Chain A
């Protein structure tokens, strides 16, 4: 992240270059959107065997992963330009969660994963677009690492709206659980894994503020299905 108050010292990419990057990312994201759309159409045309093939699922999963990475990159770019603010509105949570899950139905069915939503019939206050970026990534991740089941849930706890995504896979590796999201670098080049998703989730959570309270993200293992659990708490 560049500090907006610091003058450019020549070591960072110039603002123009950042803008070129952002518009290229924007373009790639739209292309991938078209690609994903074609993949879903293709799946409908394929024989059931073809539609369920692991290679097809990998194709869909990886494309979705890059797509959501790009969405998050754009979000972070805007955050860095300090023109990203949370447009908090009231939303009926069960409807909202259903809409998030619907997007992943082809892949869920393709991999034979069962899914459910256990949401209290409550309304919550949040920025629907930003939170979609977070949940898309989380769901796509869960689909990749779960065994058979995924559950999305929501509840109210201590005056926070809690949205949870749980699976029955092996859970998060210890290294991810030990560090808190906002404090470490988003990209760990040694292990080759980007933690962009988590970094973005944390940034989005913290954009949600109400009075003295601020949103946060929790990761843990176990939970209702015994696998990994992602929770975002919003004031």
Chain B
């Protein structure tokens, strides 16, 4: 595959000269993928830079993802580039080899010869892996390891990865540790980090990956794993910063941008989330990983940012959101739930720009024709109803959804989050800041200020379970210290009343029960 006809011709000549019989040449990515769909090639030589449209990395991704390329076949990336972004991006999808232009007959036949020889030797292992027969592949690796010193690294890497895939983490780890005993090699350190994450030894994983990044600050996969370890260890903020570093080093990896967008979104860092969604959508254009969720994510984050913002910037963001939502319907017309969810977000965008009639029109026409909504659609509808101040309808729908989706943890926790804070993200942010101040004051035994902060926060999110319980706790402490009981007890009762319908599975439920008993004991 090369977009230059000259190059295709001379490549064909050189390959003929090597005695290769069946050769097919393509000028662009789509033709190449098409041709791999109908024929199984042994060797794919693909130029990285194919002009407009798909690049070599997109092709590699798509061939591997759609399993159009067997493991036993060779994918060789031809490149004139040493540009960092490209090398970083491509490294994650691992071609079997690189060829750097300029290429002549001698260098092509040397390189292909060496790769074909390697393929022949490792064929039995790769064949078992193609058949998903991993235990067999493992035993072949162990057999070949002492016999093939030339391919030692390949076999060790593959063996460790196979152990990892079958869930035998201790053997996988042992290989990496043994290699690291004699020499600091980045693949082994990276592998070790990945295995420690799987073993849920997050602190050690974070250590290993920090060591690696210190030595090799441009190794971008290390940041991805580090972010995952940090996130699993509950350090969401740190994880986001790690991913931001990785995205700066290598901005063209779509899955990384998506990861960053989701993490920043859950950290309420809407600016970062929005920018990352924007890039995810952009990068999806030629990628097999393109997905409606990216457009919806962009729409939601722009909707959050533009809410109640009538400045030029706010209007611009609202317009961009509407464009993204229209685009997703055009690109994925048959994807389940996409037309509905995108319309519901649209309604919220209009509402945020005080275009109430547009918003109501969308919602009402949706309600007229709805039938058997998927849970995600129902959640989106509730969000929009809350935004339009149709709280009772939203509440009823969520209750019904909760009953319908008994046992679906993901949906239940989404419902919970929405009920806890059914407000715009700006108000959420403000409530969280006040909550932090309150906790700080409480820890410093400054009970008056703690109570003030929690009460302020409750004005924004009156039904928030943790906040109500925090305020009760402060009041109880004040009563202990001899404050005037009656007004404080009254306030505690009001807080408890807010939580009357708290479901048993809510994570604050037990705390609610115990504080409720204490308040009742006082009266």
Contact = CB atoms under 8 A, between A and B. Distances in A.
Contacts of B364: none
Contact of A99 (B81, B107, B185): B107
Interface stretch (A34-42, A145-153, A175-183, A187-195): A34-42
B184 interface: yes
Given A30-B81, A99-B110, A89 B187 contact: yes
A94 to B, nearest CB: 9
Interface string B1-18: 000000100100000000
Contacts of B83: 26
A37 B84 CA distance: 23
Interface stretch (A5-13, A80-88, A161-169): A80-88
A78 B187 CA distance: 22
Interface string B43-82: 0000000000000000000000000000000000000111
A212 to B, nearest CB: 13
B101 interface: yes
A106 B114 contact: no
Contact of B185 (A26, A37, A89, A92): A89
A92 B111 CA distance: 13
Given A71-B82, A129-B82, A106 B111 contact: no
A33 B107 CA distance: 14
A90 B184 CA distance: 11
A102 B106 contact: yes
Interface string B159-193: 00000000000000000000000011111000000
Interface stretch (B200-208, B214-222, B385-393): B214-222
A123 B150 contact: yes
Contacts, number: 82
Contact of B110 (A29, A36, A85, A98): A98
A78 B150 CA distance: 31
B217 A83 contact: yes
A33 B111 contact: no
A84 B185 CA distance: 16
A99 B113 CA distance: 10
A3 interface: no
Contacts of A36: 102
B218 A37 contact: no
Q: Which of A30, A90, A95 has the most CB of B within 10 A?
A: A90
A103 B106 contact: yes
A90 B152 contact: yes
Contacts of B151: 92
Contact of B111 (A44, A85, A99): A99
Query: For chain B, what secondary structure do more than half of its interface residues adopt (helix, strand, loop), or is it mixed?
Result: helix
Contacts of A56: none
A74 interface: yes
Contacts of B10: 37, 41
A125 B180 CA distance: 13
A85 B106 contact: no
Interface string A116-130: 000001010100010
A173 B107 CA distance: 32
A218 to B, nearest CB: 23
A37 B216 contact: no
A106 B106 contact: yes
A33 B80 contact: yes
A209 B187 CA distance: 16
Contacts of A157: none
Q: Classify the interface of chain A: helix, strand, loop or mixed.
A: helix
A71 to B, nearest CB: 7
Contacts of A78: 84
B185 A88 contact: yes
B501 to A, nearest CB: 56
Given A41-B10, A89-B185, A106 B104 contact: yes
Interface string B207-230: 000000001111100000000000
Interface string B120-156: 0000000000000000000000000000011111000
Contacts of B103: 37
Contacts of B185: 88-90, 125
A103 B216 contact: no
A125 B183 contact: yes
Contacts of A89: 153, 185, 187
Nearest to B156: A90
Nearest to B7: A37
A129 B84 CA distance: 13
Nearest to B81: A30
Contacts of A44: 105
A37 B81 CA distance: 15
Interface string A209-221: 0100000000000
B210 to A, nearest CB: 15
Interface in B448-498: none
Contacts of A125: 183, 185
A121 B151 CA distance: 12
A59 interface: no
A103 B215 CA distance: 32
A205 to B, nearest CB: 17
B82 A210 contact: no
5 contacts: A71-B82, A74-B82, A87-B216, A90-B152, A102-B111
Given A85-B217, A90-B185, A102-B104, 17 more contacts: A26-B82, A30-B80, A37-B104, A40-B102, A41-B10, A83-B84, A83-B218, A84-B218, A85-B215, A85-B219, A90-B152, A95-B150, A99-B114, A102-B110, A103-B102, A105-B107, A129-B82
Q: Sort A-B residue pairs by CB-CB distance and give the 7 closest, nearest first.
A: A105-B106, A37-B102, A102-B107, A36-B102, A102-B110, A90-B153, A102-B106
Interface of B: 7, 10, 80-84, 101-107, 109-111, 114, 149-153, 183-187, 215-219
